[in-house]
Chain A
């Protein structure tokens, strides 16, 4: 009995994404380890994991802090290059194992977090569009810096070669990192600190007047978001064997932003689903459309995006969705059949209805003047 009580108390809604991703990873992992999966499927899974980490971490800044950041690929770029470099430097001494990977991961995440602090500082003074432009510039600057490095340091335009890791296991590690990202970011959001962040989004002036340290929370959010982008970067360098700065341009930042926006601002689960779908579609379209049709890939991608945006916002479709809404239908069905309590008698609420007219006063006043009453009485008798 006691156990059941405790069982009920757990909010399943809060853990559903861990459970789904955990089961998915376990199934795919066992398929890969005990069976066999082809290289392209493994690569797709790695890409999905990377996209989820990127989308969820950007969603922290865009959806919860309410600042538009267009430089997320820049943070990823820093993580990919520095993590990749650390890995290739460490491989001769430590071997190409999990230890090297973890050190590279820490290094990449740390470097990206440092950049997050640097970008977080202007974010304290700039708002909206202006901040978006600063972050956009940051992404482009990082890209060109790595493009112009020497061949010995970061490989310049040719790119940096990074160590190879057993592909059979890499995506499992990637999904474990997805779970870690989710855990940390959701813990932040569902704490008093996350509440402070959303308070800043909703009304910065009120947040200040309520004693929220706006400076601290903006810096923390930018840093945390950048650190996870760095982790995604290190994963990317491991998954691709080579890091080329051209990949981390403006377009990639926008693609991550699209994942967040499509998933719905301020919902982590939405970002996860959107990241998965967009990555999957992108990869599938690239394999289906070959030869002359390859140019159509971007077109399809754009059409899908437009369709989803229209589906979310067009008034006609909105009413359609409301009418054929599954959850509303279920609610209606349940209520009809076993819950008569929804028929409420709200008569006792009348005294709190905000109105200028005092009901008692109205009722006590005799509406009919006495002289009229007289004639009315007579009329009745006749």
Chain B
């Protein structure tokens, strides 16, 4: 069990009588890029919401690196090591780019600084701020956002906003990164750039990534394994090429 970074066991949720997602068994190994695909309304984002604590699973459970995280709050799950981005970008719009990343560093053990230290401006506060800013800049450099660091987040172009959201999620030093439709609304040029970025993240941070995506070219070019959801249940899973060739999957997407 401990071989898997993320393992879900018969995880599901029902809202009243509606079984939104049921019997999801994901097994993600370390350093994998794992895809979660399916037609609209299949329950992909619901799975993400279950994994990040927005919803609590009503059936089954899930483990991160062997530790059961079911029932914890969003903040706690993030601190345990799951970070995410959103389908519709959610940045701190009225803050500068570098500050967005610094919020991500908030709970980092290297920058511990209590409320009282900050309120009375003890020396530790200054050291902590300086180091946080330096670390945030380092992260921005990896994402090629360093030049924009003093711009407001809302003034960035779309592709850069996506990148910033990923940078902020990575700042929390997660074990597993969840990307919810990272390529949605991007032009081919930006998508290409994103593929490069995601590959860099995997190598550089030794990161495990679970992503939702509709762009099949993107998925087949990037993911090692995928799970296909339809109507809240698993339709197919396994190696990307094989799963995509599954007749059930083709029928779900194209119909017939």
Contact with B along A212-244 (1 / 0, CB 8 A): 111000001000000000000000000000000
Q: A192-B113, A192-B129, A209-B74 are in contact. Are A187 and B90 (CB under 8 A)?
A: no
Contact with B along A185-227 (1 / 0, CB 8 A): 0011001111110110111011111111110000010000000
Closest to A201 in B: B94
Q: Which A residues, 156 to 197, have Cβ-Cβ distances below 8 Å to chain B?
A: 184, 187-188, 191-196
With A and B bound together, what is the CA distance between A358 and B107 in angstroms?
42
With A and B bound together, what is the CA distance between A193 and B75 in angstroms?
15
| Chain B positions within 8 Å of A220 at CB level | 115
B187 and A209 contacting across the interface, CB-CB below 8 Å:
no
Contact of B121 with A by CB under 8 A: yes
| Chain B positions within 8 Å of A266 at CB level | 94
Contact of A8 with B by CB under 8 A: no
B157 and A205 contacting across the interface, CB-CB below 8 Å:
no
| Chain B positions within 8 Å of A195 at CB level | 95, 99, 102-103, 106
A211 and B78 contacting across the interface, CB-CB below 8 Å:
yes
A198 and B115 contacting across the interface, CB-CB below 8 Å:
no
Q: A193-B115, A211-B79 are in contact. Are A354 and B93 (CB under 8 A)?
A: no
What is the count of residue pairs linking A and B with beta-carbon distances less than 8 angstroms?
101
| Chain B positions within 8 Å of A199 at CB level | 92, 95, 103
Residue count of chain B within 8 Å CB distance of chain A: 43
Contact of B13 with A by CB under 8 A: no
Contact with A along B114-126 (1 / 0, CB 8 A): 0100111100010
| Chain B positions within 8 Å of A191 at CB level | 113, 118-119, 125, 129
Q: Which interface class (under 10, 10 to 19, 20 to 34, 35 or more) fits A?
A: 20 to 34
Q: Which B residues, 96 to 114, have Cβ-Cβ distances below 8 Å to chain A?
A: 99, 102-107, 111, 113
| Chain A positions within 8 Å of B118 at CB level | 187-188, 191-194
With A and B bound together, what is the CA distance between A12 and B225 in angstroms?
55
| Chain B positions within 8 Å of A207 at CB level | 92, 103
| Chain B positions within 8 Å of A38 at CB level | none
| Chain B positions within 8 Å of A212 at CB level | 75, 103, 106
With A and B bound together, what is the CA distance between A207 and B93 in angstroms?
12
Q: Which A residues, 279 to 328, have Cβ-Cβ distances below 8 Å to chain B?
A: none
Cβ contacts A to B, 18 pairs, < 8 Å:
A187-B119, A187-B120, A188-B119, A191-B118, A192-B113, A192-B118, A195-B95, A195-B99, A196-B106, A198-B92, A199-B92, A208-B74, A209-B52, A209-B84, A210-B172, A354-B157, A356-B189, A358-B189
Residue ranges of A at the interface with B (Cβ–Cβ < 8 Å): 184, 187-188, 191-196, 198-199, 201-203, 205-214, 220, 266, 354-356, 358
Known A187-B119, A206-B92; 14 more pairs at CB < 8 Å: A184-B119, A187-B118, A187-B120, A191-B113, A192-B105, A192-B132, A195-B103, A198-B94, A199-B95, A202-B93, A209-B86, A211-B78, A354-B189, A356-B188
